[in-house]
Structure 1
Amino acid sequence: MTGSSGTRPAAFAVWALTRSLLLLCVVKVIVVPGPDVTSDVSVIYHGWYDVLSSGSYPRSDVTWQYPPVAALAILSPALLPFLDYASAFFVLAFLCDALVLGLLLYAGRGTARRTAGAWVWVAGVPLLGTTAYARYDVMVTAVAVAALLAGIRHPRLLGALAAFGALLKVWPALVLAGTARGRRTRLAWTTAAGVALGLLVLCTAAAPGALAFLGFQRDRGTEVESLGALVFHVARQFGWQGRVELHYGSLEFLGPHVPLVSTLSLGLSVVAFGWLLVWRLRARTFGVSTTADAAFTAVLLFTTTSRVISPQYMLWLVGLAAVCLVFRESRMAWPAALVLVATGVTQLEFPLGFGHVVTSDATGVTLMFVRNGLLVAACLLACARLWRDTVRAPAGGVPAAEPAPALSRTGSPDTPASAP
């Protein structure tokens, strides 16, 4: 998968075919086995839409666990008033998907770039299945991808988009983890802080309950698909007396020792943060791909160690892996491949095999060990490669920014211009 112009039409053709199938699935022209993942849009999201439209956040609903700007995603179907809520949401998800593809194809032009990133996105979204369009995570991922690609030349725009994304769903703040030291970091981080503060003030002034999500997130437990849940999937085979119940919007394990495992999961996240901090302090070489590589690694770490690994989280990893593979310099190809395989396994466990996961039978336990094992392997490999490329590599090797390509009058992609 090179940066040649011939691969771009092929990528678009495969994207169009797979996304047409996805749309047919979410509107139920094609029926997918397993739980109906689109009900979250037609029931939960639509219910939140009604509350938000009345001028308040869903502050009495414990399933509302999102930062205040997430209200824009929930209200966005109003942009298409000629469609019902669910159909409008699916169309907007499709358009955000198309935006990500466009950004990756544009960014992949030039001698130092490649279209491998676009192919990762083309393949990764359908591997997740209908969940990709039945959650607003594709919208958040589009913001994060745009932030990383724009940040190649415009650190202030990187900071602004990262702040906006963080107030959509928190994790896009991690795209700032690998900005080059000095002026670029100052510009990106100060802009992010200012935009985030401004948006928070605006949201809290606009409607009551903007910060209610903080308490609901704090009280979550160990979700059945998380890394920590493997303890209880195995323990069930030996007579553990706990149970699985709908709790704070997801199916979680409840019973003996669950609080301990939840605490240990939080501890793993703290360890991940500590590793990132040490890496940040010791890194000497910041190349063209370092910001994307560090963002991908950071989100991998926090996703894998989280008490909750919802299927749609895989979209975050696919999007960031795709940005990494835009750059020939990036060494994240193997971690990206592991994420793609893990995404396919995720569709097998949800929605197709979710009954097996909930009952912790042999099929469910196997699927969870394989998916989470792949994520752990991707974490270790990504961390090792990021460390080797930035801490052990000679300082001052590759410049921290490069001009992005643009078409010349003859159609050649060799003329430098601003990145998207």
Structure 2
Amino acid sequence: MMKRHRLLARPAITADPAVTAGPAVTAGPARPAAPAVTALLLTWLASRAGMLWLLAHDSLPMLGGRVAREVWRGYHHWYGTLSAGAFPARDTLWQYPPGAGPVLLAPGALPWWTYLQAFVALTVAADAVIALALARTGLRPGRSLYGAALWVGGLPLLLRLPLARYDVQVTALAVVSLLALARSTRVCGAFAALGALVKVWPALALLGVPRGRDTRSVWTSTAVTGASFLALLALAFRDPLAFLLQQGGRGVQIESLGGTVLSLASHAGWPGEVRYRYGAMEFTGPGVPAVAHLSLALTAAAFGLLLLWRIRARRWTEATPYDAALSAVLLFTVTSRVISPQYMIWLLGLAAVCLTSRHTTQRPVAALVLAATAVSSVIFPLLYPEVIDRTWTGTALMLVRNGLLTTAAALSLIRLWRSGIPRAVPAARGPRRHRQIIRTPAAQ
């Protein structure tokens, strides 16, 4: 009995704390992640240095048009008006929600640099925030660093364009909003509200929030934050809703899906022209209003499909909010009358968020978005004159890019639909009834 007692007690007495809390538990997950994080950091530093070099040599003919012109002609011009306490209400190029005002005023906080230099510095900082948020999420148990890799390696495909647009800042708000959902619904809603006030589309990131308490909490936070911030802007600036006056006159941009159809039609004899209107190259001529109205109808239909998915969806995973956000923004991008090249920044950011989860259904969609991003950099700024002149080269490039985006949008919705809505299972048929033959004594 004594020997048996000692054998039973041995594990509790002789257990070594150094063994139970050794490197197999604490250091194991960190070792394989360290080289990946180091590679991401080095890639980010090298690629962003290359993007800055391209922006510094923006005027080189081999790089196409000057993409920085938008900053020092547009943003800097509006900076003067905003500094005086008013939104540029009479400027037909001002088509941004009131939250864009503080973003365009932010470079003034760095007075030791020029406006362009300060704007680029803040854009690089926002890019770093996105990369860091994706990497931190990817290091959590059950998550993946593929999202951070997609963002770090995918953004340079747009060359120096992301550094000369404020879409990186907007994407940062949307990315942080989605990644915060798992920990705080209030923080998620607050960042989504700020993003929507800057450029509307981050509100679509809330489409896939699980129904019930999470949805109520997120949307309450969004409404309170949005209303509070809008009230502050209304007190600080005049004409905060002036951007709405410029939206109705927008036509069909040459880079949109409708623009691709019109570009093909021009090779068949359509007499339309391309003109600079509302800050973009747009088609004018017979049939253009009909194409614009069709685009709006397709946007409404896309919204209806997404709403139907949300009503019928029964299965949610940690990746469902991410997948739904990417699908919604893809559908609204493809059906838009304007598909500017900087829109790809949004899609890259949302695709990267999807890839942080191992449960995402959007991996092939992310690959299509990456391919479309690469084609977009060839379209603008490298061969943009070909697109404007509607040459066969320019038309083919638009057909490929928009074809990739359309395929990505359709595939995204299909995969989202199948993952959330269970298929109807046909009722099982009962066993076949066999005739029972009773043999009577006469029959025998």
One-letter identity of the residue aligned with 2:55: V
Q: Which amino acid aligns with 1:13?
A: L
Cα deviation digits, residues 336-373 of structure 1 (max 9, x gap): 01000000100000000100100110110010000000
Mapped to 1, the partners of 2:310 and 2:113 lie a distance apart of 47
TM-fit CA distance, 1:311: 0.4
How far apart are residue 79 of structure 1 and its match? 1.8
Question: Which residue, out of 22, 37, 43, partners 2:73?
Answer: 43
1:408 match: none
For the pair 1:25 / 2:54, whether they are aligned, the reply is yes
| Correspondence 1:379 to 2:409 | yes
Q: In the alignment, which residue of structure 1 is the partner of 2:197?
A: 167
The letter for the 1-side match of 2:291 is V
| Cα offsets for 1:177-201 (capped at 9, x unmatched) | 0000100000001111121112222
Alignment of 1:171-320 (within 5 A): 171-320=201-350
Partner residue, 1:411: none
Measured in 1, the distance between the counterparts of 2:376 and 2:235 equals 39
Give a deviation string over 1:47-87, Cα, whole Å, max 9, x none: 00011011110101011100001011111111211000001
SS at match of 2:282: strand
C-alpha change, 1:244 and 1:153, in structure 2 (3 Å) is same
1:4 equivalenced with 2:33 (yes/no): yes
Verify the 8 A CA contact 2:85 2:237 in the aligned structure 1.
yes
TM-superposition CA deviations, 1:224-271 (whole Å, max 9, x none): 000001121011112221111111111100111100000000011001
2-side partners of 1:21 and 1:185: how far apart? 42
1:81 corresponds in structure 2 to 111
The 2-side partners of 1:110 and 1:40 are apart by 39
- Structure 1 unmatched ranges of 5 or more: 395-420
Cα deviation, 1:190-224, whole Å, max 9, x if unaligned, reads 11112111222221222111101012122211000
Q: Which has the higher relative contact order, 1 or 2, with Cα contacts under 8 A spaced 6 or more apart? A: 1
- Give 1:95's match in structure 2, choosing from 98, 101, 125: 125
Q: 2:44 aligns with which of 8, 12, 15?
A: 15
Q: Which is greater in Rg?
A: 2
Native 8 Å contact 2:180 2:188 kept in 1: yes
The 1-side partners of 2:190 and 2:40 are apart by 30
CA apart distance, 1:275: 0.4
RMSD of the alignment, in Å? 1.4
User: In the alignment, residue 190 of structure 1 is paired with which amino acid?
Assistant: T
2:326 and 2:58 map into 1 onto residues whose CA distance is 35
TM-score (norm 2): 0.87
CA contact (8 A) 1:160 1:192 kept: yes
What is the letter of the counterpart of residue 45 of structure 2?
Answer: A
Distance 1:338 1:168 in 2: 27
SS of 1:118's equivalent? Answer: helix
The runs of 5 or more residues in structure 2 that have no matched partner are 1-29, 425-444
Which one of 177, 180, 193 corresponds to residue 150 of structure 1?
180
Q: Is the 8 A contact 1:242 1:255 kept in 2?
A: yes
Tell me: CA distance 1:193–1:29, structure 2 relative to 1, closer, same or farther (3 Å).
closer
Any conservation in 2 of the 1:24–1:30 contact (CA below 8 Å)? Answer: no
Cα deviation digits, residues 267-292 of structure 1 (max 9, x gap): 11001000000000000011101111
CA–CA distance in 1 between the matches of 2:180 and 2:257? 33
The aligned residue for residue 383 of structure 2 is 353
Q: Distance in 2 between matches of 1:323 and 1:218?
A: 33
Q: Does 1:121 align with 2:151?
A: yes
Q: How far apart, in 2, do the equivalents of 1:240 and 1:175 lie?
A: 39
Deviation string 1:283-319 (CA, Å, 9 cap, x unpaired) is: 0011101111100110000011100000000000000
Moved over 4 A (4+): none
d(CA) in 1 for partners of 2:378 and 2:131? 25
Tell me if structure 2 keeps the 8 A contact 1:285–1:393.
no
Task: Determine if contact 1:27/1:87 at 8 Å carries over to the other structure.
Answer: no
- In 2, Cα distance between equivalents of 1:83 and 1:29: 18
Query: Is the contact between residue 103 and residue 146 of structure 1 (CA under 8 Å) also seen in structure 2?
Result: yes
Task: Quickly say closer, same or farther: Cα 1:197–1:346, change in 2 above 3 A.
Answer: same
Question: Share of identical aligned residues, percent?
Answer: 46
Q: CA deviation at 1:393?
A: 7.2
Q: Contact conserved, 1:345 with 1:367, CA < 8 A, in 2?
A: yes
Contact 1:293 1:386 in 2 (8 A): yes
For 2:352 and 2:59, locate their aligned partners in 1 and report how far apart those are by CA, in whole Å. 28
Aligned match of 1:416: none
CA distance in 2, matches of 1:380, 1:232: 22
Partners of 1:234 and 1:29 in 2: how far apart? 31
**CA–CA distance in structure 1, aligned partners of residues 146 and 404 of structure 2:** 21
Question: Using the alignment, how far apart are the partners of 2:376 and 2:290 within structure 1?
Answer: 26
Equivalenced residues, count = 393
SS at match of 1:56: coil
- Deviation digits for residues 134-157 of structure 1 (CA, Å, limit 9, x no counterpart): 100000000100000011111111
> Equivalent residue of 1:173, what SS?
helix
Asked if the contact 1:118–1:322 (Cα under 8 Å) also holds between the matched residues in 2, the reply is yes
CA–CA distance in structure 2, aligned partners of residues 254 and 173 of structure 1: 31
